[in-house]
Amino acid sequence: MNNPNRPIGVFDSGVGGLTVLKTLQAQFPNEDFIYLADHAYCPYGIKSASQVAHRVSEVGQQMIERGVKFIIIACNTATANAAELMKTSPVPVIGVIEPTAKKAFEVSKDKKIALLATDLTVKMGSYQHLLRDATVHALGCSVFVPLAEGIDRDSSDTAAKVANHLQSLKEFEFDTIIYGCTHFGLLDQAIQKALPGKIVVECGEPTASAVAEILTCSKLSQEMQTLGTTTLYTTGSPKVFKDQITWYKGSFLGPYQW
Ligand code: DGL
């Protein structure tokens, strides 16, 4: 029997999923979270679909063994390759793509949307399929992932690299941009400077709404009314992880070695 008082497991290849975790912590303050940054396998977005699918199943299994009641895949690339985990997991698993695509379709007035995602997410085509009634300009932006993982995210050099990569989108018309990689919220300033005046859709808020529905329907909401805890883990170096997330203001324990 799944126990509502167990923690929720959240994972990403690195720091990007913290943009989702932040929203989850704010919306579900009584829940306990364990967050895994899978740095040993980061980046996911330039690997093959089978490599990522294998790793997603492994991480999911490890989370289940640690007793989570629910798995949130705070990574688009992992979500696009999670069919096996979703099929076999004894606890509910939710990814970020469906809620985010749905939200983008709702908010776009022209139904013309730019998708910024990792090369593998673009290749998998999940967003393009879900948004088949809109015009989607998809751009593989795996080059942004090391910039978001780095500590000089806010430098002019990073802004110039981002602007240069987004140049090719300038010839298209669109009113909405999807950050189809959870790392890209960390480059928000640089992206919005390069592509000003657009509606931006990130994964955190739409995913949190979908999580709320599942927690209620499956009677898995935390019963304790006390403030929950969040514990961060990495498959890489906890020291490096700590230095990478000085911007992360949410309260948490760790980071610890997974
Ligand atoms: N944050 C991940 C996503 O949302 C991808 C980063 C990576 O390439 O590892 O797709």
Sorted by where each starts, the structural domains of the chain and their CATH numbers stand as 8-96+205-244 (3.40.50.1860), 97-203 (3.40.50.1860)
**Catalytic annotation on 217?**
no
> pLDDT digits over 1-11, tens only?
689 999 999 99
Cβ–ligand 1 contact at 76 (below 6 Å): yes
- Percent above pLDDT 70 for the chain: 100
What pLDDT is recorded for position 251?
87
Q: If you measure from the C-alpha of residue 39 to the centroid of ligand 1, how many angstroms do you get, rounded to a whole number?
A: 11
**Mean pLDDT rounded to a whole number for the chain:** 96
Q: Kindly list the distances between the CA atom of residue 133 and the CA atoms of 2, 3, 201, 233, in Å, as whole numbers in the listed order.
A: 38, 40, 17, 39
The yes-or-no verdict on residue 139 having pLDDT over 80 is yes
Task: Give CA–CA dist 79/76, Å, rounded.
Answer: 5
Q: Choose the catalytic residue: 42, 75, 141, 203.
A: 75
**Catalytic annotation on 75?**
yes
Task: Give CA–CA dist 170/9, Å, rounded.
Answer: 38
The yes-or-no verdict on residue 210 having pLDDT over 70 is yes
The yes-or-no verdict on residue 12 having pLDDT over 80 is yes
Q: If you measure from the C-alpha of residue 219 to the centroid of ligand 1, how many angstroms do you get, rounded to a whole number?
A: 30
For the CA atoms of 148, 149, 150, 154, what is the dihedral angle to 10 degrees? 30
Q: Could you tell which of 145, 179, 184, 186 is best to mutate to test the pocket of ligand 1, judged by most ligand atoms within 8 Å of the CB?
A: 145
> pLDDT digits over 28-52, tens only?
999 999 999 999 999 999 999 999 9
Q: If you measure from the C-alpha of residue 227 to the centroid of ligand 1, how many angstroms do you get, rounded to a whole number?
A: 29
> pLDDT digits over 218-244, tens only?
999 999 889 999 999 999 999 999 999
What pLDDT is recorded for position 257?
97
